Structure 1
Amino acid sequence: MDKAVCVVMAAPVREVAEEQAEMVTQILYGESMDVLESGKYWSKIKMHFDGYEGWVDSRQIRPVSEQDLATRKVSTITENFQTVIMKQGRTLLSMGSEVEFPTVVSRRSHDLRESIVLTAQELLNIPYLWGGRSFFGVDCSGFVHLVYKINGIKMPRDSYQQAEIGTPLTFLEESQPGDLAFFENKDGRIIHVGIMMENQKIIHASGKVRIDTLDSQGIFNKEINEHSHKLRFVRDVIGS
């Protein structure tokens, strides 16, 4: 099967091979993929990091041999964004991008849970973007996906998939920073996710990356003075 890597800052991955189609996720610079179908303008790909499939502009990826992919050594950018010099010139890359040269690994804390929360806080006020998973815009599960990647943890892409990993907690009061809280719609379908902080605070992407209070009913938004999301459960995805 053909392989490729992304050669732009953040390539939109679309549901179907059309410019106007829904962006279901993004693939960041340097991330690798299988090429399931290849065409002049569109390629169907499967991302190696999380197995997500979709269509990308063929001009935004570069073919690589299986041998080169197996032997290449990459570093993940952990700063919010970083300017790097490429053959094509100066390029601005988002955190989460993968580069084939050493970069500063900025682990926020020796404690993994604390590091996850500190990473999440660096994205405060980043705008909500459906399908986004970069410093320039995220959706709720893309936010979680990116924060955990920066901290060395592979996470499924969508919230309903993320809700299947880890251990469910019996009581909200058992939650620790770095746990994930999931929220449902009136039909019981998982539609939202956020990262737990201390004192039952939650950081999540809704309109923008923001911090709100969580109680047994769900997320309480002080700006509108009501609960914005109905709590389904909290899961420990890290372990002790």
Structure 2
Amino acid sequence: MPTYGLTINTIVPVRAEPDDRAEMVTQLLFGEAFEILDTRRQWRLVRAAADGYEGWIDEKSFMDLSAADYRAMQEETPVYVLDTVAKRGNGQKLVKGCRLPFYT
């Protein structure tokens, strides 16, 4: 049974191998969904929903996403951040292009 995730960090490095020192092949932005294909220690091999690109991300950079929510995200009209957004204090900064899942 497939498992899914949703990025929770502003920028998530996607690596060629499950190692912090491995080449970064691309990045995922906050709010991007993906399918989890494999697990090695704290690393997950993922396939991005947006473009099908595959690579390894650290488990600290995402939350689990149900299959129903994954499907719903594929069907909804996406809402994207059009300018950098930052909350005062300890809030998270969002950069242009981040997706706001389930934002209505």
In the alignment of these two chains, the number of paired residues is 98
Separation in structure 2 between the aligned mates of residue 96 and residue 32 of structure 1, nearest angstrom = 14
Q: Tell me which amino acid in the other structure corresponds to 2:72.
A: T
Contact 1:14 1:54 in 2 (8 A): yes
Task: Report the counterpart of residue 113 of structure 1 in structure 2.
Answer: none
SS of the counterpart of 1:94? coil
Distance 1:84 1:65, change over 3 A: farther
Match of 2:86 among 83, 86, 101: 83
Contact 1:24 1:54 in 2 (8 A): yes
Contact 1:38 1:58 in 2 (8 A): no
Q: Tell me which amino acid in the other structure corresponds to 2:56.
A: W
Q: CA offset at residue 75 of structure 1?
A: 1.2
| Greater radius of gyration (CA) | 1
Give 1 or 2: higher helix fraction. 1
Separation in structure 1 between the aligned mates of residue 31 and residue 12 of structure 2, nearest angstrom = 11
Separation in structure 2 between the aligned mates of residue 22 and residue 98 of structure 1, nearest angstrom = 25
1:80-109 alpha-carbon deviations (Å, 9 max, x no partner) = x11258xxx51101111111325xxxxxxx
The ranges of structure 1 where at least 4 consecutive aligned residues each deviate by more than 6 angstroms after the TM superposition are: none
1:13-65 alpha-carbon deviations (Å, 9 max, x no partner) = 00001110100000000001010013441000000111100000011011110
Q: Tell me which amino acid in the other structure corresponds to 2:11.
A: A
Q: Tell me which amino acid in the other structure corresponds to 1:77.
A: V
Structure 2 unaligned segments of length 5 or more: list them.
Answer: none
Q: Tell me which amino acid in the other structure corresponds to 2:15.
A: R
Percent identity reads: 26
Task: Report the counterpart of residue 46 of structure 2 in structure 1.
Answer: 45
Contact 2:18 2:40 in 1 (8 A): no
Q: CA RMSD in A?
A: 1.8
Separation in structure 1 between the aligned mates of residue 87 and residue 99 of structure 2, nearest angstrom = 12
Task: Report the counterpart of residue 71 of structure 1 in structure 2.
Answer: 72
Task: Report the counterpart of residue 10 of structure 1 in structure 2.
Answer: 11
Q: Tell me which amino acid in the other structure corresponds to 1:76.
A: Y
Higher relative contact order (CA 8 A, sep 6+): 2
SS of the counterpart of 1:25? strand
Give 1 or 2: higher strand fraction. 1
